Amino acid sequence: MTDSASNAAAFSVSELAFSLKRTLEDAYGHVRLRGEVSKVTRHSSGHVYLTLKDDKAAIDGVIWKGVVRGLACQPQQGLEVIATGKITTFPASSKYQIVIDSLEPAGIGALLAQLERLKAKLQTEGLFDPTKKRPIPQMPTVIGVITSPTGAVIRDILHRIRERWPCHVLVWPVVVQGDQAAQQVAAALAGFNSLGRDSKVPRPDVLIVARGGGSVEDLWAFNDEALARAVAASTIPVISAVGHETDTTLIDFVSDRRAPTPTAAAEMASPVLAELKAAVMDLDRRLMRAGGRLLEDRRVRLSATSRGLPRPAELLSVASQRFDLSAGRLNAALERNVSLHDRDLMRFAARLTPSLLDRPRRLKAERLGDLARRLGLATRRTADQAERRARLPDLTARMTGAVERRLLAATERLSGLDKLRLSFDPNRPLELGFARVHHADGSLARSGAELSEGEAVRLVFAQDSRQAVISEGPAPPPLAKPAKSLAKKAADGSQGSLF
């Protein structure tokens, strides 16, 4: 080692890093750089970090917070721009970068140009037609999710669905980045659509194609033409949730609904159970209020209409008076009718005597005796008929028995008629100690209500009758039977003693 080399001062790492920084800044204090924007990151502090690239190299860039708002265009993935700034280094990582002061568009990048041509082609074919968009079911029973099974996306979707609308979720695992991603996602769409209603695996009501954010290159698989056509051909409604809100892919245009994030896709596919319950309760309350208002309106209208109608009491007043008048006459008419029938019964009952039955019986007995005499004469005259005379006693006995049986039956019938006559006899109760009460005109009094105070009546007993006057006072106490010692006089004819 030479002396000059051994005597050279040693730089520290910081001295060398900052020396290089000053050299670059002095040599490239102001540069204009053309390139395609990639890997745009917006930090929470407000700074924007990105990468400018071409087909051979790439350089990192940073736009400070105060400059972002004044840019002519905002940095977007795949946009070809002209950036003006200065080259500097970041000593902590020994990297050089460009600090961008202004940014203006220079044209669409190669990838975006290819994408625009494909979009124009599919739009011409009608794949973006809004009339072909299928509605998302409001209350799905099965939700199909096509995404990576290991990322945070599937956990966010499952968590959100479980919170809002607990239902059956089918996950079809696929890769979401690289050359095989588009093919696997298209195969998953075809697999879900091939499920039938009677298959062992339930058919989803809606599908979610989801992936997290990334660069244009990371999301490029979802700009595949075959995948876009598979989404358009799906018979099950599809919600695309690829990247963040600022990311746009080709399947976003052909899907039935685009969600800014996977979590938002889960919210689109599932209603909020609590909100549905609240809506049903609100509808129920509104229905009750509407029903109450309807009843009240009908009640007011009925009340207003009833004012023009006559009152029910006025309509029924004449009929009520006629009813009361007829009811008052009915009792007296019924009593007169019963009295008339009673007099008729008494008149006919007087004619029912045992002599009416005895006369037919005597006539039949006389006819029987005459017949017997005639039979005796006929028997004496036919002495030549010995055989018939021999049988004559037997015939006579049988005829006599028949006559006796007929007489017995007639006697029993007569006895029954006599009992019936006695039951209809109005004087029979008088023999048991009862009395009939007659008005002064001879009509029968059937109840105490017919008798008035001071009215003269006739009491008919079994052997005689007495006159009486009706009194409204209390009934007199029963008379005490006289003692036998007082009822009879002494044997010697004296008055006797009371003690």
Residues 119-135 have pLDDT tens digits of 999 999 999 999 989 99
Q: Give the gyration radius of the chain's Cα atoms.
A: 65
Residue 415 structure tokens: 């006895």
Tell me what the mean pLDDT of segment 275-288 comes to.
89
pLDDT band with cut points at 50, 70 and 90 for residue 483: very low
What tens digit of pLDDT does each residue of 356-379 get?
677 787 888 888 888 888 877 766
**Residues 28 and 99 grouped into a single domain:** yes
Residue 51 reports pLDDT greater than 70: yes
Least confident range of 7-16, 52-61, 67-76, 407-416: 7-16
For residue 267, being part of any structural domain is answered with: yes
Question: Could you tell me what percentage of the chain is helix, strand and coil, using 3-state DSSP and rounding each to the nearest 5?
Answer: 50, 20, 30
Helix (H, G, I), strand (E, B) or coil at 201: coil
pLDDT score, position 487:
42
**6 against 404, higher pLDDT:** 404
Residue 224 reports pLDDT greater than 60: yes
pLDDT band with cut points at 50, 70 and 90 for residue 248: confident
**Residues 167 and 151 grouped into a single domain:** yes
**52 against 421, higher pLDDT:** 52
**Residues 259 and 146 grouped into a single domain:** yes
* Boundary residue ending a domain (248, 271, 294): 271
**Residues 93 and 187 grouped into a single domain:** no
**Residues 242 and 267 grouped into a single domain:** yes
For residue 349, being part of any structural domain is answered with: no
For residue 179, being part of any structural domain is answered with: yes
Average pLDDT, the chain: 82
Q: Where are the beta strands (DSSP E) in 191-291?
A: 206-211, 238-242, 257-258
pLDDT score, position 109:
59
Residue 10 reports pLDDT greater than 90: no
* Boundary residue ending a domain (225, 247, 271): 271
Range among 43-47, 103-107, 381-385, 446-450 rated most confident = 43-47
Q: Which domain holds residue 33?
A: 13-108
DSSP annotation string for 147-185: E-SSSHHHHHHHHHHHHH---EEEEEE---SSTTHHHHH
**Residues 414 and 459 grouped into a single domain:** no
* Boundary residue ending a domain (241, 271, 301): 271
**Residues 43 and 127 grouped into a single domain:** no
Tell me what the mean pLDDT of segment 320-346 comes to.
85
pLDDT score, position 312:
72
